[in-house]
Amino acid sequence: MASALSRPSLLVAAVAASLAGACGTTADDSSRDVAADDGAADSTDAPEALAWSTPENISGTAVLSDIRYQWGRSLAVSNDGAVHVAWREVSGEVATLDVAKVVYRRRVGDTWTPPQDISVETAGTGHPKIAVSGNRVWIVWHLYQPGSADQLFFSTSDAGGAPGTFSASRAIVTDAVVTAHNPLGEYSTTPSIAADGDWVHVVWSDERFVDSCGLQVPEIYLVSSSDLGMTWSAPFRVSSADCRSSWTPSVAAWGGVVHVAWTDERHDTVDCGLAASACREEEYYRRISDHGARLDEPEIRLTRDPVGSEAESWGPSIVAWDGGVQVVWYDRAGGNDFEVYHLRSTDGGASWEPLPRRLSAHGPGCRSACATVAAEGSAVHAVWFEICGDTSATIRHSWSNDAGVSWSGVSDVTSGTGVFAVHPHVGVHGGLVHVVWNDNADGEIYFATSR
């Protein structure tokens, strides 16, 4: 099996450092302490933990297959129950850049269609993210290009992902510039995508803006399209230009409202991307109505570490179902090892509950990270990976049947078969829950479903 390859980057280094170190508010700047409301699984109303099918290898190649960056989705489920998965296959490395291509596979009933190549092998190909709406499947990824500006690309199928129906890849953002502040080019990376009817929305982290401090740190941007990606809105900066980095954006959309969550360093004394310092990050949210066109709604701060115990917070995943908006992330609140937390809004993101709830329940010497969330009606599902002793990792799941009020105990999705199972993604349809992840031990993509 080929060894895992990865290009050094600010974001990858930050994730690695974080993991190595461990692994209702209205529209103002009030927030809540991540001291959190524990004990959800102890509620008498909590559902039973789910059982899972035997994990299935769905990549099965001689090269590295991988999924990363859980704030964008690598798995989506369409209204007909079909499961759609996108990942990278990495065949080598050129000048520290992964030579990779985007691969897609669809599951109809219990049968998987053959893998489809969505892009050609190219040095600098980033991790793909996926969304579905009706019979249309969208896949987006970034291309890292040293010495010039990064770009975002997409491909789409209007036939439910059937073989041979994906379009040629096209660029989304092409107005990049190379400046004296960023001579290597604009840093456009880690996109997340959401589809809502005929609309599709993409968010990403981007260094195109020089702020009042003369710095070119990443902020969160949004573009939208209503004509199948033929044209896109001008990039809109979602996060404030505050001389501190904003990254790991996640997006959801429902009924014409776009919901964006991200990690923000604005409360740190120094940007940890620009100096060798520990990161102090918080989670932020913004609601953008009128299919991403209403730009006057404010940012809302979702978390606040206790004074004197500021620590890393990372990687939100967001989902919307009707008026319910759910966010999960992982956090070293109080200086503890990373744990997974959940917070919800019941009024479409206008206000948020006062206390996050801890979902993970690992023992000493373990840490939980990279959570994703999915919803269907009042059912909310969260998955993450748990590392113990840096020698093994498993995929964990918890769920709520009352829109996030009470939560089940934690179950093992990998059923004891995973060696180093990481970076899970979750989707749900018709009560069936689907999870995909990659195992770093063999560099393959695995899939399991609830039973």
For residue range 431-442, list pLDDT tens digits in order.
999 999 999 999
Q: Residue 386 in contact with residue 437, Cβ under 8 Å?
A: no
Q: What distance lies between CA 11 and its chain's CA centroid? A: 13
Higher local confidence (pLDDT), 80 or 311: 80
Give the pLDDT score at 17.
40
- Using DSSP bridges, classify how beta strands 199-206 and 219-225 pair: parallel, antiparallel or unpaired: antiparallel
Q: Which residue has the tokens 């570490």?
A: 305
Percent of the chain with pLDDT over 70: 83
Torsion of CA 207, 224, 232, 140, to 10 degrees: 70
221 CB-near residues (< 8 Å, 6+ apart)? 203, 204, 205, 206, 208, 235, 236, 237, 238
DSSP at 402: S
Give the residue ranges of DSSP H helices in 328-384.
Answer: none
Q: Does pLDDT of 33 surpass 70?
A: no
Q: How far apart are CA 283 and CA 271, in angstroms?
A: 15
Q: How confident is the model at residue 418 (pLDDT cuts 50, 70, 90)?
A: low
DSSP one-letter string for 121-139: -EETB---EEEEETTEEEE
What is d(CA 301, CA 308) in angstroms, rounded to the nearest whole number? 19
Residues 274, 394: Cα–Cα separation, whole Å: 33
pLDDT tens readout for residues 291-331: 999 888 999 999 987 766 778 889 999 999 999 999 999 99
Of 135-149, 246-260, 331-345, 405-419, give the range with the top mean pLDDT: 246-260
Q: What is the pLDDT of residue 308?
A: 67
**How many CA atoms does the CB half-sphere of 312 hold within 13 Å?**
24
| Contact assessment for residue 201 and residue 222, using Cβ atoms and an 8 Å cutoff | yes
With a CB cutoff of 8 Å and minimum separation 6, the contacts of 293 are 224, 233
**Percent of the chain residues topping a pLDDT of 90:** 65
CA distance 178 to 204: 18
Q: Tokens 């020089």 correspond to what residue?
A: 210
Please tell me the predicted confidence (pLDDT) of residue 184: 43
* Higher-pLDDT residue of 209, 345: 345
> What does the DSSP 8-state code read for residue 282?
E
Q: Residue 306's closest CA among 3, 36, 29?
A: 36
Above 70 in pLDDT, residue 173? no
Distance of alpha carbon 339 from alpha carbon 330, whole angstroms: 5
* Residue that is written with structure tokens 């092998």 in the block: 121
pLDDT band at 425 (very low <50, low <70, confident <90, very high): very high
Give the closest residue to 48 by CA, choosing from 324, 444, 410, 370: 410
Q: What is the pLDDT of residue 242?
A: 87
* Token pair of 292 as six digits: 């991403």
Determine contact, residues 248/316, Cβ cutoff 8 Å: yes
Domains of the chain, with CATH numbers?
10-449 (2.120.10.10)
Whole-angstrom distance, CA of residue 119 vs CA of residue 69: 19
Could you read off the pLDDT of 94-118 as tens digits, one per residue?
Answer: 988 999 999 999 999 999 999 999 9
pTM for the structure as a whole: 0.90
CB 73 within 8 A of CB 86: no
Q: Which pLDDT score is estimated for 320?
A: 98
DSSP, residue by residue, 179-219:
-SS-TT----EEEEEEEETTEEEEEEEE-----TTS----E
8 Å CB contact between 374 and 408: no
Is residue 435 within 8 A of residue 426, CB to CB? The reply is: yes
User: How sure is the predictor about 145, in pLDDT bands with cuts at 50, 70 and 90?
Assistant: confident
* pLDDT per residue as tens digits for the range 349-384: 999 999 999 999 887 888 999 999 999 999 999 999
Contacts of residue 217, defined as CB under 8 A and 6 or more positions apart, other chains included, come to: 207, 211, 243, 244, 245, 246, 271, 273, 274
- pLDDT for 190 equals 87
DSSP state of 335: G
Q: Are 195 and 235 in contact (CB under 8 A)?
A: no
E strand segments, 213-281:
219-225, 236-237, 246-254, 257-264
Q: In this model, does residue 49 exceed pLDDT 90?
A: yes
Confidence (pLDDT) at 6: 31
pLDDT digits (tens, 9 = 90+) for 222-265: 999 999 899 999 899 999 988 888 999 999 999 999 999 999 98
Rg (Cα) of the chain, in Å, rounded? Answer: 20
Which tens digit of pLDDT belongs to each residue from 50-64? 999 999 999 999 999
- Average pLDDT score, the chain: 85
Identify the H or E element spanning 354: none
